[in-house]
Amino acid sequence: MGPGVVLIQVLGGVFAWGLAVAAEDVWVFFSDKPDGAGGRLEWLKEDDEWTSEELDLPLDPNYIAQVKAMGISLRVCSRWFNALTVQASRAQQQQLLELSFVRQVRPVQRFKRLPVSPGTEDGVAAAKILAQEEDPSFEQRAQIGVVHLHARGYRGRGVRIAVLDDGFHYLDHKTFAHLRDNGLIIAERDFINGDDVVFDQANQPHTGDERGGSQNVHGAQVLSLLAANHPGRLVGVAPEAEYILAKTEDLASEMPIEEDRWVAGLEWADSLGADIVNSSLGYTTWDDGSGYTFSDLDGATALTSIAAALAVRKGIIVVEAAGNQANNSEWPYIIAPADAPGVIAVGAVDRRQEIAFFSSRGPTADGRIKPDVVAPGVRVVVADIRGGDYMRSSGTSFAAPLVSGVCALLLQVNPNWGPEEMLESLKKSAKDLGIAGADTVYGWGLVQAFDASQLDVEGPALSLSGDPFPHPATLDVVHFPLQLDAEYEVALRIFDLAGGLVDEKKKQFFEGANQRFSWEIPERLGNGLYFYQLTASTSKRSGKIAIMR
């Protein structure tokens, strides 16, 4: 028998040859911890019964020392779970179980984020943003009512957002210059390579040469939806917020997501005072091919879901992508930890406010409606990290940061809100889509930031909060965002360059912000430049619109 080969007995008395595993990554859960007052705290309660103070108590250093003395390599410590993760052989795992203070040893699960699967929707694949497009990101902000809050000066100042992802190569892109110049990146931590650098490096112990590869790209694109500040090209939802960046996914591995590093990142963000955590972890299948069943999506089975729920209980607003698996016949449902109670699970819609073909569906195993809300997630504008400009991309992992940014604006307006108030306000103010009422496709609907803020509408009778979109008009519909101080009949008139009236529409609108006059372009109108005029009562707004169908 060669070295490293063992005889394994399997069910039914059948024998097979297999390779011995030298070491595995496992959780080691302790039975108690110091209570901070000279006593011991038996770790016997359910996860949701611990106080925030008890969760934050450090592990027993003597227990950690005894584990290390066995020649076992430590990975991370979790205060919330009173546990370590280590690399241990099967024999060492058995020795760990024989220690009086160890109550359980279980594998660290590994996963991978599922990208958007190919579909019939035109243009879902990433596409470069043409240089002549004027403010291509306006539409995604306008759809969720962010434009009105930005106009009032709410841009996330004083709110601290943690982003957990695969790294953040923000150094070279102009859209992040203000973060560097104004000290808005509060802390960075690479939980894979064990340093405080989350952008590209060479010769990393685990991720290798990151320069020019896929590592650190997805996270930077997510960050751009939150924090970008390049007017006329890409403006994020919360460009003046403070950011904590946690690199927790190793793309050099076939299964890049490891639950212990994600939990470590979440606890680290809590220790730094994060108000909001944005993540697009999402998984159902483990590295050994097994995984969760639908009955496990109860918010209390997956360790990441338990950790996310604990973060919510500690006062952190946790926003999680619902997942990109709706067209997976074997698993169309949301993915952990989006199933956790109190976590804001976000699905994706397209520019027509129809559900994206890939956006994962609810409910949870215990019957709760998920996703909670939806946001734009099809062909949204993000930073092109390797190309230096901007591009379009799709996924619920791009819808989630739009909602995280909205939460930052709402916290700036309402600094006393906690996770419960935030989620309730988002639900109550959301634009209902799909069937009437909350459902397991759209949740409570499309996020409407201004309505959720509970601010009063100000300004003239008619306010056109930005240019019509899309601009140029490349589809059959153009939207004019409106803000009204009362109920009005609004008239839209379209003129050609000679001043001739070529189309006219009138619609009744109620008081409020986040409204839009949607104009269906008549087939008879050819491509070219036109003038528009919007009228409500004695107020008028006018401008130009280019049609390029």
User: pLDDT digits over 493-527, tens only?
Assistant: 999 888 889 999 988 776 665 677 889 999 999 99
Report the percent of the chain where pLDDT is more than 90.
64
User: Are 388 and 360 spatial neighbours (Cβ–Cβ below 8 Å)?
Assistant: no
Q: What confidence score (pLDDT) does residue 466 get? A: 58
User: Are 475 and 549 spatial neighbours (Cβ–Cβ below 8 Å)?
Assistant: yes
Confidence of residue 109 (pLDDT cuts 50, 70, 90): confident
Is the domain of 99 the same as that of 149?
no
Confidence of residue 288 (pLDDT cuts 50, 70, 90): low
Is the domain of 396 the same as that of 519?
no
Span of 25-34, 281-290, 457-466 with lowest mean pLDDT: 457-466
Total domains, the chain = 3
CB atoms within 10 A of CB 432: 14
Q: Which residues contact 343 (CB under 8 A, 6 or more apart)?
A: 305, 308, 309, 312, 318, 319, 320, 337
DSSP lists the bridge partners of residue 491 as 506, 535
pLDDT score of 283 more than 70? no
Confidence of residue 131 (pLDDT cuts 50, 70, 90): low
Confidence of residue 251 (pLDDT cuts 50, 70, 90): confident
Distances (CA, A) of 284 to 72, 157, 289, 319, 506: 29, 36, 10, 18, 50
Q: What confidence score (pLDDT) does residue 268 get? A: 98
Is the domain of 474 the same as that of 529?
yes
User: Are 430 and 446 spatial neighbours (Cβ–Cβ below 8 Å)?
Assistant: yes
Helix (H) or strand (E) holding 55: helix 52-56
- Helix ranges (DSSP H) in 381-536: 396-413, 419-429, 449-453
Is the domain of 325 the same as that of 408?
yes
409: nearest Cα among 184, 85, 128, 161: 161
pLDDT score of 113 more than 80? no
Pairwise pLDDT comparison (511 vs 478), residue with the higher score: 478
Is the domain of 388 the same as that of 480?
no
Mean pLDDT of 221-225: 98
Mean pLDDT of 133-160: 90
Helix (H) or strand (E) holding 9: strand 5-9
Mean pLDDT of 378-387: 94
pLDDT score of 74 more than 50? yes
Pairwise pLDDT comparison (431 vs 120), residue with the higher score: 431
Between helices 218-227 and 396-413, what is the axis angle to 10°?
Answer: 30
Q: Which residues contact 84 (CB under 8 A, 6 or more apart)?
A: 27, 28, 30, 59, 64, 67, 74, 75, 76, 77, 78
Is the domain of 314 the same as that of 446?
yes
Is the domain of 178 the same as that of 261?
yes
Q: What confidence score (pLDDT) does residue 19 get? A: 38
Confidence of residue 3 (pLDDT cuts 50, 70, 90): very low
Pairwise pLDDT comparison (62 vs 8), residue with the higher score: 62
User: Are 374 and 364 spatial neighbours (Cβ–Cβ below 8 Å)?
Assistant: no
Distances (CA, A) of 480 to 350, 351, 375, 428, 490: 17, 14, 19, 24, 11
pLDDT score of 119 more than 60? no
Pick from 403, 435, 453: which residue ends a domain?
Answer: 453
Distances (CA, A) of 132 to 80, 129, 546: 50, 8, 12
**HSE (side-chain half, CA atoms, 13 Å) at 461:** 13
The answer as to whether 114 is a domain residue is: no
Q: What confidence score (pLDDT) does residue 511 get? A: 62
Mean pLDDT of 183-189: 98
| Whether pTM exceeds 0.85 | no
The answer as to whether 115 is a domain residue is: no
Mean pLDDT of 279-304: 77
pLDDT score of 112 more than 90? no
pLDDT score of 399 more than 60? yes
Confidence of residue 538 (pLDDT cuts 50, 70, 90): low
Average pLDDT, the chain: 87
User: Are 537 and 488 spatial neighbours (Cβ–Cβ below 8 Å)?
Assistant: yes
d(CA 504, CA 492) in angstroms, rounded, equals 6
The answer as to whether 227 is a domain residue is: yes
Is the domain of 44 the same as that of 165?
no
Give tens-digit pLDDT for 77-93: 999 999 999 999 999 99
User: Are 175 and 383 spatial neighbours (Cβ–Cβ below 8 Å)?
Assistant: yes
The type of residue at 255 is: M
Is the domain of 321 the same as that of 281?
yes
Q: How many residues in total does the chain contain?
A: 549
Spell 344-367 as b/e; 16+ CB within 10 A means b: bbbbbbbbeeebbbbbbbbbbbee
d(CA 441, CA 438) in angstroms, rounded, equals 9
Pick from 410, 435, 453: which residue ends a domain?
Answer: 453
Range of the domain at 83: 5-108
pLDDT score of 464 more than 70? no
The answer as to whether 394 is a domain residue is: yes
Q: Is 214 exposed, middle or buried (0-12, 13-18, 19+ CB in 10 A)?
A: middle
232: nearest Cα among 138, 145, 126: 138
Q: Which residues contact 76 (CB under 8 A, 6 or more apart)?
A: 84, 85, 191, 260, 261, 263, 264
User: Are 465 and 480 spatial neighbours (Cβ–Cβ below 8 Å)?
Assistant: no
The CATH number assigned to the domain holding 493 equals 2.60.40.1220
433: nearest Cα among 515, 345, 373: 373
pLDDT score of 17 more than 50? no
Is the domain of 235 the same as that of 364?
yes
